[in-house]
Chain A
Amino acid sequence: MNAEMLLLTALTIITAATPLVYAAIGELVVEKSGVLNLGVEGMMLGGAVSSFALLHLTGNAYFGILGGAFAGIFLAGIFAVLTLGLQASQVATGLALTIFGTGLTALLGKSLVGVGHSGLQKLPIPFLSDLPVLGRLLFQQDVLVYGSFLIVPLVAWFLYRTSAGLTLRSVGDSHDAAHALGINVLRWRLLATLFGGACAGVAGAYLSLAYTPMWVENMTAGRGWIALALVVFATWRPGRMMFGAYLFGAISILQLHGQAWGIRVPSQLMSMLPYLATIMVLVVISRDRGKIRKHAPQSIGKSFYPTT
């Protein structure tokens, strides 16, 4: 394997990891606020189909990104109404969101199947993109990849360095105590849930605008669920989540490069790798109960309704 091949591999790892970064960082914030939204897969599909439809209609991929984010916010809004407003089970509602999102996007995207577009443009950053190796790797990407480099440190800064972040975490750790302090628990959870929706929508937009610029029914192929697993893998810490996303990006492109590297395994079996790896890391992380207990938001999945 020569240097050029290594560089190409690294580039594909970045494209495979970017949607996971968005989806997982959004869900991380949601879970930090004490809400478990299992509908990431459905929201990603919503983002993917709407962004591609907008690209198709307007010819502008940036409208597409916006449309993807709003589709995610819309679907997350349904989830919020049911779980925060009407006290429905978060697990059941999240599953419903995924089932609904899968069906709705298949219906709405019917006329988009087989349509081709050039997708999101690369925006080389002046001077930096001329750097050897690093320039091609990091500074000749599209706007969503740059965004994924920025969003993780931003979220980490927000959660651990701002008072709003502290409030959000307190809502997730003990909604009763937060409520007693006069914090509007439901409003914070609503905002977090909508942020998670926007992120999942953008993750979907990256898939249909940049990863493979087209729309295919159910094109997320479980990435929303992998993002959920990544949050657990990261024990709810943004930095580790970024690392995890790149690790999974690497595992999922192994199947593409496996043949070239002379690994003689049927492609179906190679495609199992990301899913098997997800199970594997979940086991490794969750067997240490103390670690999970130390970092997990204590009120996660529990509903809260102010009585006074």
Chain B
Amino acid sequence: MIRLYKRPAPSRLWIFLAPLVAMVLTLLSGLILFSLLGVPVVEAFYAFFIEPLTSVYGLAELGVKAAPLIMIGVVLSVCFRAGVWNIGAEGQFILGAICGAAVGLSLKEVEAFWVLPLMMLAGIAGGMLWASIPALLRTRFNTNEILTSLMLTYVASLLLAYMVIGPLQDPFGFNFPQSALFHKAATLPVVWPNTRLHLGFVVALMLVGLVWLLMSRSMLGFSLLVTGSAPRAGRFAGFSVNRSVWVTMLVSGGVAGLAGLFEVAGPIGQLLPKISPGYGFTAIIVAFVGRLHPVGVLFAGLLLALSYLGGESAQISLNLPVAVTGVFQGLLLFFLLAADVLIHYSLKPVTTAPAEFTGLTNTQAQHVANSEQGAP
């Protein structure tokens, strides 16, 4: 029998080791999963994890997939550290895309430099608007933001489905459910010629730096941390939980909206009924795997971007269903949560003292065992 014993202080070693252990365990279960599915394991692993990184195109695509994941993951990590459970980034992403696209499409005659910045602002505003609903309901009516933000994601994807057959449908598109292609001034510039790597990746990197500054060097960041980890202490210090909710919701919504606009104005180039393979949800995993720290999120974003690319590549070369990606992502998060136990607890076998010698009951013997090991 193995028991958990609380460590006196969180283990710094395991904060870094846990994600690595989780990765190894995910790969091992991937091995088992592939062999159960009768897939050649070596080929599958090569297709999944190596092949996407062997070409310039693959590396650029990694950045394309990582951009939204890092952008959203880094702001979600702020939310989660402040104790605000914004689960609806996917919906905020979609709303940003709709609002930005609406501006871009309505300015289709204009070839000016300010079209794209205006679209970005609209994207940010759209995401903020969507995130402000759960924020308002939480602060004003005490409504659980997990459920409301998630419900709004379903509403957002239905709104998008309506937009591409309604107000934003391409009038010359033979009635397909899609918008017109964006014109030149409304298209996101690429930062690496001849690839699809766009401005969003640069913005993602800048956000990592900004959020690091916010969380480690500013009073606002400190107040968010305090209200997240010790709301009562925060109240004594004059930090308002409601303010934390508003700040984190608006920031994360705005950034998710911007990421959505980048996705449609960049790689996709128009509005489609489905514009995201679940970036908003995967970003939750990114935030956790990245230890809710901006630099960690950067690496976690690249790792999970690889899981998308790997899924696509395995689909092409081995005809594996693309859903394998979701399984890997879920497994990674499970193993991470399991490995995280070692940050706060140590695992030790229970040593039951021989009761007939000491005359102690089992429980008492356990007490002795505990105190010998220095556990509480």
B25 to chain A, nearest CB (A): 13
Contact with A along B248-267 (1 / 0, CB 8 A): 00000000000000000000
**A87-B4, A92-B288 given as contacts; is B158 within 8 A of A100 (CB)?**
no
Interface: B152 (CB within 8 A): yes
In the complex, which residues of chain A have a beta carbon less than 8 angstroms from the beta carbon of B324?
103, 107
Contact B143 A272 (CB under 8 A): no
Contact A279 B148 (CB under 8 A): yes
Which one of B148, B151, B282, B338 has the highest number of Cβ atoms from chain A below 10 Å of its Cβ?
B151
* A287, B345: Cα distance in complex, Å: 38
Within 8 A of B (CB), among A70-114: 78, 81-82, 86-89, 91-93, 95-97, 99-104, 106-107, 110
| Contact, CB under 8 Å: B321 / A107 | yes
Q: Are A275 and B155 in contact (CB under 8 A)?
A: yes
User: In the complex, which residues of chain A have a beta carbon less than 8 angstroms from the beta carbon of B7?
Assistant: none
Contacts of B282 in A (CB 8 A): 99
Which A-chain residue is minimally distant from B141 (CB atoms)? A287
Q: Decide if B331 touches A106 in the complex (CB within 8 Å).
A: no
Tell me the smallest distance from the CB of A292 to a CB of chain B, in Å: 7
Task: Say whether A276 faces chain B, with CB atoms less than 8 Å apart.
Answer: yes
CB–CB A87/B341 < 8 A: yes
CA distance A278 to B88 in the complex (A): 15
Binds A, one of B45-53, B116-124, B223-231, B363-371: B363-371
* A96–B166 CA distance with the chains assembled, in angstroms: 35
Pairwise interchain contact A272-B142, C-beta atoms closer than 8 A? no
Would B338 and A86 count as touching, CB distance under 8 A? yes
> Is A283 at the interface (CB under 8 A from chain B)?
yes
- Cβ of B248 to closest chain A Cβ, rounded Å: 16
A110 contact set on B, CB distance < 8 A:
321, 323
Q: Which of B1-23 contact A (CB under 8 A)?
A: 4, 6
Given A38-B146, A88-B340, A107-B324, check contact A308 B367 (CB 8 Å).
yes
CB atoms of B142 and A292 under 8 A apart: yes
Indicate if B108 sits at the interface (CB-CB under 8 A): no
Evaluate whether A96 and B141 lie within 8 angstroms (CB atoms) in the complex, with A110-B323, A272-B155 already known: no
B-chain residues with CB within 8 Å of residue A286 when the two chains form the complex? 141-144
* Docked pose: A216 CA to B146 CA in angstroms: 26
Q: Is A289 an interface residue (CB 8 A)?
A: yes
Contact string against A for B residues 21-38, beta-carbon threshold 8 Å, 1 for contact and 0 otherwise: 000000000000000000
How far does the Cβ of A79 sit from chain B's closest Cβ, in whole Å? 9
How many angstroms between the C-alpha atoms of A96 and B6 in the bound complex? 24
What are the residues of chain B within 8 A of A287 when measuring CB–CB?
141-143
CB of B302 closer than 8 Å to a CB of A: no
Q: B287 — nearest CB in chain A belongs to which residue?
A: A92
Residues from chain A with a CB closer than 8 A to the CB of B150 are 222, 225
How many angstroms between the C-alpha atoms of A307 and B159 in the bound complex? 51
B173 an interface residue at 8 Å Cβ cutoff?
A: no
C-alpha spacing A228/B151, complex, angstroms:
11
A266 touches B162 (CB 8 A): yes
Count class of interface residues, chain B: 35 or more
- Look across to chain B and name the residue whose beta carbon is closest to the beta carbon of A289: B142
Are B146's CB and A82's CB within 8 A? no
Q: Is the beta-carbon distance between A103 and B326 smaller than 8 angstroms?
A: yes
CA distance A281 to B326 in the complex (A): 32
* Known A38-B146, A100-B331, A107-B321: A307·B376 in contact at CB below 8 Å: yes
**Does A137 sit within 8 A of B, measured CB to CB?**
no
Per-residue CB proximity of A240-278 to B under 8 Å, as 1/0? Answer: 000000000000000000000000001011011001101
Nearest Cβ on chain B to A244's Cβ, whole angstroms: 14
B341 touches A278 (CB 8 A): no
Indicate whether A143 reaches chain B with its CB closer than 8 angstroms: no
Q: Nearest residue in B to A292 (C-beta to C-beta)?
A: B142
Q: Which residues in chain B, 121-175, are within 8 Å of chain A measured between CB atoms?
A: 133, 137, 141-144, 146-148, 150-152, 154-155, 158-159, 161-162, 165-166
Q: Is the CB of B333 within 8 A of A106?
A: no
* Given contacts A95-B87, A100-B330, A103-B325, A89 and B337 within 8 Å (CB-CB): yes
Q: Report B-chain residues with C-beta under 8 Å of the C-beta of A96.
A: 285, 330, 333-334, 337
C-alpha spacing A95/B285, complex, angstroms: 9
Per-residue 0/1 for A103-136: is the Cβ within 8 Å of any B Cβ (1 yes, 0 no)? 1101100100000000000000000000000000
> What's the Cα separation between A87 and B142 when bound, in Å?
27
Q: Does B191 contact A (CB under 8 A)?
A: no
Kindly provide the distance from the CB of A185 to the nearest chain B CB, expressed in whole angstroms: 14
Nearest-CB distance from A142 to chain B (Å)? 28
B344 beta carbon closer than 8 Å to chain A: yes
Note all chain B residues with C-beta closer than 8 A to A279. Answer: 133, 137, 143, 147-148, 151-152
* Cα(A289)–Cα(B140), bound, Å: 11
Asked whether B162 lies within 8 Å of A308 as measured between CB atoms, the reply is: no
Task: Establish whether residues B326 and A222, one from each chain, have CB atoms under 8 Å apart when the complex forms.
Answer: no
Interface 0/1 of B316-359, CB less than 8 Å to A: 00000101111111110110011011001100000000000000
A32 CB to nearest chain B CB (Å) = 17
Residues of B within 8 A of A202 (CB): none
Measured CB to CB, the closest approach of chain A to B339, in angstroms, equals 9
A102→B152 CA distance, assembly (Å) = 19
Could you say which residues of chain A place their CB within 8 Å of the CB of B340? 88
Q: Are A82 and B85 in contact (CB under 8 A)?
A: no
Contacting pair B85 A100 (CB below 8 A): no
Tell me which of A78, A104, A225, A289 contacts B147 (CB under 8 A): A225
In the complex, how many angstroms separate the beta carbon of A265 from the nearest chain B beta carbon?
10
In the complex, which residue of chain A has the Cβ closest to the Cβ of B138?
Answer: A286
By a beta-carbon cutoff of 8 Å, the part of chain B in contact with chain A is 4, 6, 85, 87, 133, 137, 141-144, 146-148, 150-152, 154-155, 158-159, 161-162, 165-166, 281-282, 284-285, 288, 321, 323-331, 333-334, 337-338, 340-341, 344-345, 363, 366-367, 370, 376
The 8 sampled A-B contact pairs (Cβ below 8 Å) are A81-B338, A86-B338, A93-B334, A95-B284, A103-B328, A107-B326, A272-B155, A279-B152
| Beyond A88-B340, A99-B330, A279-B148, 6 extra complex contacts between A and B, CB < 8 Å | A89-B337, A100-B330, A100-B334, A107-B323, A272-B155, A287-B142
